[in-house]
Amino acid sequence: MDGNGASPHTDYLENSADAKSGNASLHFFSDDRVDFKAEQTITGLKRGTYQLSAFLQGGNAEGAELYLFAKTSGQEYRAAAAVNGWGNWKNPEISEILVKDGAVTIGVSVTAGPGAWGSIDDFVLYQKAR
What is the residue extent of each domain of the chain?
Answer: 3-129
- Residue, of 28 and 2, whose pLDDT is higher: 28
- Exposure on the CB side of residue 117, measured as CA atoms within 13 A: 9
Average pLDDT over residues 105-113: 94
Rg, C-alpha atoms of the chain: 15
Is the pLDDT at 1 greater than 50? The verdict is no
Is the pLDDT at 45 greater than 60? The verdict is yes
Label residue 71 exposed, middle or buried (CB < 10 Å: 0-12, 13-18, 19+). middle
- Classify 3-129 by CATH class: mainly beta
Alpha carbons 121 and 13: distance in angstroms, whole number? 10
Residue 79: its pLDDT value, please?
97
Residue 50: its pLDDT value, please?
97
Average pLDDT over residues 12-31: 81
Q: What is the mean pLDDT of the chain?
A: 88
Average pLDDT over residues 116-120: 92
**Which are the contacts of 107, defined by CB distance < 8 A and separation ≥ 6?**
37, 38, 39, 40, 68, 69
First-last CA distance in the chain: 33
Is the pLDDT at 94 greater than 80? The verdict is yes
